[in-house]
Amino acid sequence: MNNETNIEPYKAVGILDSGVGGLTVVREFFHQLPYESIVYFGDTARMPYGPRQHDEVRRFALEIIEFLQTQEVKLVVVACNSATAAGLPYYREQLDIPVIGVIEPGVRAAVEATQNGRIGVIGTTGTISSGAYERDIRKLDTSVQIFSVACPLLVLIVENNLVKTPEALRVTEEYLSPLKEEEVDTVILGCTHYPLMTDLIREVMGDKVNLISSAEEIAREAKEIFTFEGLLRPLNPVKVNHRFFVSGKPSIFEEIGQRFLGKPVKAYQVIF
C-alpha cells in the first residue's frame, strides 16, 4: 500500500452487500471510474438479508461499514437494497463521509424509462415489505402504477451458482408471471443479485420490457459526488488496489466474482 492512501482522493470506495450481489455495482465502478480502488465486503456467512428483521440488517450493515472505515474509504456504497431499505438515513447519521444506497437511483431510471406508466418491482421480502420503492416512485410521479413482487429464492439461486438450471427458470417464471399479466413495460431489479441473472429474467419477461438495475446510476452518482467534493482520484500511474472481503468461505464468491468481473478475484475471510 502506498502512503498516498491517506490523502482523501486516493482513498478507496467501500461497497457492501450480503454476498455477491454488490459485484454488479463493482463492475459498473470498474467501467465508469476505472481509477478508483474498491474495498468490497460480502456478508456471505449471514446472507440472505432479505428475510431478516430490519433492525438486524441495520446492525450487520453498520458492523461492515465500521470495518470498511478501517480500510480508509472516502465513500460508502450500500450496494444492497435490503440494507438500504433497512436504514440508509441511519448509516448516514453515524458517518462523516458520504453514504449512498441503491433504491433512489433505480427509481429515477425506471420513472424515466416507462412509457405506459406500469412499473414492476422485484426484490427480497425485506425490501418489498418496507415499501421503499413505492414511496420513492410516488415522490417522483404519482400517476405510475406499481406492481411489487417479493422473490426470496432468487438470491439463493445466484449465491449457489444455480442460475443456469431448469429449476431457476421455473421459479423465475412463477415469480414474474403476475408482472407479465399486468403488462408492465419496466421492471426494477430491486436486489443487486438480480443483474447476475439478467439473461434469465430477460428470457421470461421478453425483449420489450426495460430491466432497470441501479448499478449504472449509482456509479454515476458517486462520480458526481467525487467531482463536486474534489474527491476524484487523479489519473496518474499509481496502481489501483482492489480488495475483497467475505464473512463466509471465499471459494464460491471468488468463482462467481471472477466470472462476472472477468478478472481474478481473491477474497479474504473476515469473521465478526
- Contact positions toward ligand DGL, by CB under 6 A? 17-18, 21, 47-50, 80-82, 124, 127, 155, 191-193
Taking the complex as a whole, how short is the minimal distance between the CB of residue 123 and ligand DGL, in angstroms? 6
Task: Tell the burial category of 237 from Cβ atoms under 10 Å away from its Cβ (0-12, 13-18, 19+).
Answer: exposed
Contacts of 128 (CB under 8 A, 6+ apart): 121, 122, 148, 149, 150, 190
Q: Which is nearer to ligand DGL, 17 or 217 (CB)?
A: 17
Ranges assigned E (strand) in the chain: 12-17, 38-42, 73-78, 99-101, 118-123, 145-150, 186-190, 210-212, 243-246, 267-269
Taking the complex as a whole, how short is the minimal distance between the CB of residue 199 and ligand DGL, in angstroms? 18
Q: How far apart are CA 207 and CA 203, in angstroms?
A: 8
Q: Which is nearer to ligand DGL, 77 or 146 (CB)?
A: 77
Q: Which is nearer to ligand DGL, 29 or 49 (CB)?
A: 49
Taking the complex as a whole, how short is the minimal distance between the CB of residue 81 and ligand DGL, in angstroms? 4
Q: Which is nearer to ligand DGL, 47 or 149 (CB)?
A: 47
Cβ-contact 50, 127 below 8 angstroms: yes
Taking the complex as a whole, how short is the minimal distance between the CB of residue 210 and ligand DGL, in angstroms? 19
39, 132, 150, 191: the active-site residue: 191
Ramachandran angles phi, psi of 4, nearest 5°: -65, -15
25, 80, 121, 215: the active-site residue: 80
Taking the complex as a whole, how short is the minimal distance between the CB of residue 127 and ligand DGL, in angstroms? 5
Residue with cell 454515476: 220
Antiparallel, parallel or unpaired: β 73-78 and 38-42? unpaired
Q: Which is nearer to ligand DGL, 18 or 114 (CB)?
A: 18
How many distinct helices (H) and strands (E) make up the chain?
11, 10
80 flagged as catalytic: yes
151 flagged as catalytic: no
List the Cα angle 135/32/81 in 5-degree steps: 30
Please identify every residue annotated as catalytic.
Answer: 80, 191
